[in-house]
Amino acid sequence: MTLTGKARVAGIIGWPVTHSLSPVLHGHWLKEYGIDGAMVPLAARQEDFAAVIDGVRRAGFVGVNVTVPHKEAAFALAHRLDDAARSAGAANLLIFHDDGTIEGRNTDSIGLAESLRENIGALDGKTVVLLGAGGAARGAIFALDSLGADTIRIVNRSPDRARDLATSLAKDVKKAKLVALDNWASAAEGAALIANTTSAGMSGQGPLNLDLSVIAAGSTVLDIVYSPLETKLLKDAAARGLQTIDGLGMLMHQAAPSFEAFFGVRPQVTPALRAALEKVLRERQ
């Protein structure tokens, strides 16, 4: 079936995807700007990703946002890529062009950088611990680098994957260093920011259990997970008096360029948008 009419339809693809706020977020902007369009959730297992993308492209979708675990697969599928996606080796936005080609972009680094600027400002000369080594971690490294972080310590459950990430980025981001999870206390020493880019703590996933007693007072803990809004990691950090940043800011800011690509208007991230998303999250609990 091919879509007809003036409405522009985009999708959000992931596994799972029921947690995604993208349909609500884009729906808020569509209503605010009076645009005839929709954002459709698309649940796809890893082995079905390429087939689902081909199906929705043929059906007339203008593009899709991509969430875990498909960002690296989206990168591989794209015919052309922007610099951010090429550098990160991952894409969270696929745009379908009329000539049949697929353009891949990465807006994760933009979203994270803007969220951090709003909450703590620049990271000039500071040490950051990055938890994770997947597609989100790659985008995060460039965001942290753009904010002036002096050292980025990559910590991941799989040392080999973390090593591959650090090696692949060595030419562009020399400040990224690999630290084993077994040396958590050493990794956290002197860090101004701890940033979780894994899916641990997400609804339906196990929590991320870390010893936060080794984190210095005055440090900040960020979790890119937004469902639930307050993960166990953030609860534990707040209980210790540490500043926390949830994943909602990153979500809203990374979605703005996607909305512009899909619907032709660059939207504003506002307190009203955040309130609307928080309301939905509360209702889902």
User: Structure pTM?
Assistant: 0.89
Query: pLDDT under 50 in the chain at which residues?
Result: 1-4
- Locate CATH 3.40.50.10860 in the chain: 8-106+252-284
Contact status, residue 245 vs residue 222, Cβ threshold 8 Å: yes
Give the side-chain half-sphere CA count within 13 A for 179. 21
CA triple 94-100-104, angle to 5 deg: 20
pLDDT score for 1: 36
Residue 36 contacts by C-beta under 8 Å, 6 or more apart in sequence? Answer: 6, 7, 8, 30
Burial class (CB in 10 A: 0-12, 13-18, 19+), 45: exposed
Q: How far is it, in rounded angstroms, from Cα 239 to Cα 242? A: 7
pLDDT tens digits along 56-84: 999 999 999 999 889 999 999 999 999 98
Q: What fold characterizes domain 109-246? A: Rossmann fold (3.40.50)
pLDDT score for 138: 81
List C-alpha distances in Å: 156 to 100, 129, 138, 166, 228.
38, 10, 13, 11, 22
* Residues with active-site annotation: 71
Per this entry, what is the length of the chain? Answer: 285
Pick among 1.10.760.10, 3.40.50.10860, 1.20.1250.20, 3.40.50.2300: CATH of 8-106+252-284: 3.40.50.10860
pLDDT score for 206: 82
pLDDT score for 247: 95
Q: How far is it, in rounded angstroms, from Cα 236 to Cα 13? A: 31
- Locate CATH 3.40.50.720 in the chain: 109-246
pLDDT tens digits along 198-229: 988 887 788 888 999 999 999 999 999 998 99
